[in-house]
Amino acid sequence: MKEDTKEETMRAPGTGVPADVAPVPALPPHYSTASPPDGPVTPSPLRAWFYLVGLSLQRQARVGQIVWIALGLLAFSGLLVGTITVSGWWGMQNRRLPRSREGVTYQNWAELTDALSQGAALPGSPEVAGINQALVASYRAALERTDFYVFSNFLVFTIFVSFLLPIWSLSFAADSLGGDREGGSLVWLLTRPLSRPAIYLAKFVALLPWSIGLSVGGFAVLCLAGGRPGWQALRFYWPAVFSGTLAFSALYHLMGAYFKRPAIVALLYSFFLETLLGNMPGYLKRGSISFYTRCMMFDAAQNYGVEPEKPSVYLAVDGSTACMVLLAATVVFLVVGMVLFSRSEYLAAD
């Protein structure tokens, strides 16, 4: 063998069993993976894909901590909402104007107004009395409807959309691929005969029941705990919650394919960039997912006085546009993620 053989194709010939080694013992009698008793079974890629979806769905709950913390947040929020509901604090009835211990509650204002209008009614003028009564009645009716307004602003916009929605989406979506990368177990999927886009899609489909279940289901639980205003909120806002969850999940799943620590990047996005963009003037805020979620909510509940603080500055879009943007964003993130995942090489976990 000369040096130039290095330049030729190097062939390893075959089993070169050393002569001085003991003979091969027989393998266990059952061992044969080659031929099943009923005839050869052809493996099916579609069957493999569906199995991967099921396996990933099951494995999403493997990090018990994530599930418990998510449920803990839900329990805590639910308890808080329930306490407020039971003590009747949703409406403005018990708020004081002016805001101090000496202020009069709105409920009292309604009664005072009623009493005043009756006392001050012009004698012999049923028309004036009628107008007075109509005014007081509509004031009372409006006061009754303020519970939905308060519920929307307190729970839905402040607590849910700003925090619970992104964090519940993040918990499962960032861990879907990110957890396997961090743990080093992605190798098992990458060496199966499954195309990379198929693996990515299967993982996404598997995480959706978890993130949607938690977001929409969790929202439903909070709304139920909110009593009457909660029911209204659920009816109006669930499509926005659903669409927002889809978009967040798709984005975080994409981060899982690209970044080594997708959870940190997702955190940066949802609690820094979204806050920053959300407070930017003009059209910059249209780069954030929660903007469109809120627009859908504003559109759904506009008849109840639920609107952005400064509508001319906020420049909200209508509900159907916002919904389409969220769904389109979901598809775009999914496609980009599939392309990225199919081109990337994943080495050992860091």
Nearer to another protein, 51 or 324 (CB): 51
Token match 């130039």: residue? 4
Nearer to another protein, 179 or 319 (CB): 179
Closest CA relative to residue 245, chosen from 176, 327, 175: 327
Nearer to another protein, 95 or 140 (CB): 95
Nearer to another protein, 266 or 323 (CB): 266
Token match 């005043």: residue? 116
Minimal distance, residue 116 CB to another protein, in Å: 26
Q: How far apart are CA 151 and CA 23, in angstroms?
A: 80
Nearer to another protein, 113 or 342 (CB): 342
Minimal distance, residue 86 CB to another protein, in Å: 13
Nearer to another protein, 188 or 283 (CB): 188
Helix axes 126-151, 106-119, angle to 10 degrees: 180
Q: Quick one: tokens of 77? A: 């929020």
Minimal distance, residue 72 CB to another protein, in Å: 8
3-state class (DSSP) for residue 96: strand
Minimal distance, residue 348 CB to another protein, in Å: 6
DSSP characters over 277-318: HHTSSGGGGGGSHHHHHHHHHHHHTGGGT---SSHHHH-PPP
Minimal distance, residue 260 CB to another protein, in Å: 8
Q: Radius of gyration over alpha carbons of the chain, in Å? A: 31
Minimal distance, residue 220 CB to another protein, in Å: 19
3-state class (DSSP) for residue 115: helix
Nearer to another protein, 225 or 325 (CB): 225
Q: What angle do CA 158, 334, 291 make, to 5 degrees?
A: 25
Contacts of 147 (CB under 8 A, 6+ apart): 90, 91, 92, 227, 228, 229
